[in-house]
Structure 1
Amino acid sequence: MPGTTWPPHHVRGMVPGLTKVKEVRVPKGVVGVISPWNYPLYLGVGDVLPALMAGNAVVSKADSQTALTMLWTRALMAEAGLPTDLWQIVAGPGAEVGTALVDAVDFVCFTGSTATGRTVAERAARRLVGASLELGGKNPLIVREDADVAAAATGTVVAAFANTGQMCIHIERVYVHEKVYEAFRAELVRATRALRLGRSYDYAVNVGSLTSAAQLAAVEAHVDGAVAEGATVLVGGRARPDIGPLFYEPTVLEGVTHGMAVCDEETFGPVLSLYAYGADSEAVDLANQGAYGLSASIWSKDSREAGRMAVRIRAGSVNVNDGAAAAAGSIEAGMGGMGESGLGRRHGAEGIRKYTESQTIATQRLLPLGPPKPGQSGVERFVRRTNGQLALLRRLGVR
């Protein structure tokens, strides 16, 4: 859809009445969307649709593990009337296919790890091509002294262990006020132990498999390393090959300290670390530790006070009395990260504007603007031209 523009936004011109100015938005051209294997419909197609709506053509680099989801959606879009050439899908190794895509498109939308995001951003920057990046997270959840402990524990379990913890906005750190720590810990352990692991595709089980052997190895390394350095496993903490080759129990750790990989690095699996705090200011400081800033959660009966805490947390989204879904599912609001969790936003106005360029169109009437005549200073020219334009406006009846 080259040449497509949005409705113009009219602004005041240089000379009111004689200079007419409008701002329009025009498509970037060809947008490259590189999407991950987890949530391929939501994260992959969800970035394609606004790019198309903004007037661009799109080339998607689907993850090799979930390419069929993208192809199925493209077939549905074709049935709905989308020209088949307007959205192309490629798959293959990221180092080859992803690199070639970044080197060819006019804008890049990437979702994935922080390490790969840096590479994408650097490569795009060499071509002076823009990039939107949603990257990793080590997301905190705060349980205030006044929180409903049972509800907070249930919400934490969902926010941490849904999709086996394999989503960038899932919770990995939980900070609990010291006065409710014991009660929350007991409720969290009970709720976690009650989760059912299984291989079925129905709702008879709560937690499924990890996606790859590499992911299982990373989870085991984080948990085993923390235990070796003094952390305690409250529940879980082991692989379950009796259920399937990539199963790992939902795990809650206590006694995790800085320097442990599970404390400082994204685990991307069913693992939580539990900490106690004494004051709200301390909880905010703890939540802001580390380089990430993607999503956060606060549980409290006082939504006003929780809101005051939320704006002090360095995160692109903060959920009050919800783990992560409330912000992510509110698609009229932007979603993205701060710090090493990325650049730009998906969803909301920014989620579609990022696929466009702002263009200013100025139309000058009657008296053209230009350099001063020889021998005439800029000030003299300005005064004379302004007086002439004002006189002309008065004759035209413009006040």
Structure 2
Amino acid sequence: MIQVRNPRTGRDDYQFAPATEADLDAHAASLREAQRDWAALPVEARVAVLRRWGDAVEAASGALIEALIHDTGRFGETHAEMNLFRGTLARWLRDAPAQLATFDERASAVETIKLAGQLVPYPLVGVISPWNFPLGLSVIDAIPALLAGSAVLVKPSEVTPRFVEPLIATINQVPELAAVLRYVLGDGKVGAALIERVDMVVFTGSVATGRNVGEACARNFIPAFLELGGKDPAIILPGADLDRATSALAWGATANAGQACQSIERIYVHRSLHDRFVTQLADKLRRLKLAFPKPNDGEIGPVIFARQAEILRAQLDDAKAKGAVVVTGGELQVLEGGTYLLPTLLTKVDHTMLVMTEETFGPILPVMAFDTVEQAVALANDSVYGLSAAVFAASEQEAELVARRLDAGAVSINDATLTAVVSDGEKMSFKLSGLGGSRMGPTSIRRFLRQKLLIKSRGAGPQPWWFRSLA
């Protein structure tokens, strides 16, 4: 049995038996068999099935929210996560039919040959999802894959598995869906075994694990779509609206206690604004309270994963030892067994510090001054990560000029962390932040499809046969 820690109490209060190799074999065989009939359905029929599932999830939202609160120890973000499910489902029920339409027969460059297309789904898609948004990130790829005609096998994080039981109950209310969507519980060993049994993998998690996933998929000659870590920078240029910037960054760096890949994790502010910026940001951060003793008592929930607390402690200790100044926060607190960190603002930081170069995944905001735009761009790009970024300036045009120079897949202009609220714009991760096509935007559903071309020879006129004797 695998024991599961409660992030609010620090105690193990849940356990589960991990899936065995035999379990995975049985699931894969059953899913593959059911997928043939599922793919043969018109897309409108698949849409109807998932709409019924949405109704079942809505009816069970109370139980799901309760399980997610126990999984993550948070309140407001859990309700936002339910909205993420609703939004993901709604946009794909709306967009999938148009994206899955194939082109009609058309002429080719050769007069006597016509072309037609067919979209063929990957039969079995494996989804390996993380602990920071357990429900939302387990369905964000599963839903479009199902609508594309694939069957899906999901392995969520063993850190946050409680939501799976009420979710499976909703899936079982829709038999057509239960035939092609399964959740299995387990640790990294189960995830590795899952890769051996599927036709493509979508993974969300750390760079280290993502590299292992990518290598395993390459050996099996199956595609891997990897959504990995980030070290998102924000740049504040002269003339920027400091009230807007500090409010946006206070949210963009501390929502979900900073436990999101798109969190702002380093801030570069022009030297002429530095002191005023720090004063305003510190004032706003001090207004944020710990979500303790109840999940809805404040904005900053506990550290979900115990190992993450050690990363935060190590980065803070390293920064302090190298001369960083703590303006707000700065100390991890253990309260009734749960580990918390108030929003922590650091100054006097530089790129010799772990907090400026390694992913933090916590509510820490290091602020560094710059003198020129060129220096700011160079500092922002001085990272192995390239997920997203933010730029604040006096005008949208000025911010955009800088944004276009950043090595990041998405850049928020005069705001922060907008990829958390906008899902209809396609983006790709740069550098070690990921690999493969975007999961955002309407055409991203085509990741789960292969394009087949039907080449039709009509037989009239000369044929391009090689041997004249066959004519």
TM, length-normalised to structure 2: 0.75
CA distance 1:157–1:82, shift in 2 (3 Å): farther
Q: Does 1:23 align with 2:141?
A: no
SS at match of 1:358: strand
Q: Does residue 1:97 correspond to 2:190, yes or no? A: yes
Residue 28 of structure 2 aligns with which residue?
A: none
Question: What do the CA deviations read for 1:94-144 (whole angstroms, capped 9, x no partner)?
Answer: 1x1000111110000000000100000000001110010000001001112
Matched, 1:121 2:219: no
Query: 1:193-250 deviations in whole A, cap 9, x for unaligned?
Result: 2211132555431111101321111101100111112111111110122465311221
Structure 2 residue aligned with 1:220, among 313, 326, 331?
A: 313
| Residue identity in the other structure for 1:42 | G
The answer (yes or no) to whether the contact 2:391–2:403 under 8 Å persists in 1 is yes
Within a 5 Å distance, the mapping from 1:74-113 to structure 2 comes to 74-79=168-173, 82-94=176-188, 96-113=189-206
Please, which moves more after superposition, 20-29 or 75-84? 75-84
Distance 1:223 1:83 in 2: 47
Q: Which amino acid aligns with 2:422?
A: S
Structure 1 vs Structure 2 CA RMSD: 2.1
What is the CA–CA distance in structure 2 between the aligned matches of 1:159 and 1:207, rounded to whole Å?
A: 13
Query: What letter matches 2:297 in structure 1?
Result: A
Instruction: Give the counterpart letter for 1:297 in structure 2.
Output: A
* Contact 1:212/1:246, CA 8 A, preserved across alignment: no
Unaligned 5+ runs, structure 2: 1-34, 44-99
2:382 alignment counterpart? 289
- Alpha-carbon distance between aligned partners in 2 of 1:347 and 1:247, rounded to the nearest angstrom: 32
The equivalent residue for 1:251 is 344
Q: In the TM superposition, what is the alpha-carbon distance from 1:12 to its structure 2 partner?
A: 3.8
Q: Does 1:331 align with 2:399?
A: no
The answer to whether residue 229 in structure 2 is matched with residue 136 in structure 1 is yes
Tell me, yes or no, if structure 1 residue 268 matches structure 2 residue 361: yes
String of CA shifts for 1:305-342, please: whole Å, max 9, x gaps. 21222221111111112211x33322222244110000
The SS at the match of 1:67 is: coil
Unaligned segments of structure 1, at least 5 residues: 382-399
State yes or no: 1:63 paired with 2:157: yes
Partners of 1:231 and 1:253 within 8 A in 2: yes
Structure 2 counterpart of 1:33: 127
**1:300 positional shift:** 2.5
The residue correspondences of 1:138-217 to structure 2 (distance < 5 A) are: 138-201=231-294, 203-217=296-310
Distance 1:172 1:114, change over 3 A: same
Matched residue, 1:43: 137
- Counterpart residue identity of residue 423, structure 2: I
SS at the partner of 2:376? helix
C-alpha contact 1:327 1:335 (8 A) present in aligned 2: no
Query: How far is 1:81 from its partner?
Result: 5.8
Structure 1 counterpart of 2:108, which letter? Answer: G
Question: In proportion to residue count, which structure has more helix?
Answer: 2
1:386: which partner in 2? none
**% identical equivalent positions:** 36
Could you tell me which residue of structure 2 aligns to residue 390 of structure 1?
A: none
Q: For residue 391 of structure 1, what is the aligned residue in structure 2?
A: none
Q: Which residue matches 1:384?
A: none
Structure 1, 363-372 or 262-271: larger mean CA deviation: 363-372
Q: Check conservation: 1:199, 1:244, Cα contact below 8 A.
A: no
Counterpart secondary structure, 2:267: strand
* Structure 1: 4+ residue segments shifted above 6 A: none
The structure with the larger Rg is: 1
Mean Cα deviation higher: 253-262 or 285-294: 253-262
Secondary structure in 2 aligned to 1:246? strand
Task: State the alpha-carbon separation in 1 of the partners of residues 323 and 315 from structure 2.
Answer: 13
TM-score (norm. length: structure 1): 0.88
Matched, 1:355 2:448: yes
SS at match of 1:108: strand
Q: Say if 2:103 is the partner of 1:9.
A: yes
C-alpha separation in 1, matches of 2:240 and 2:171: 45
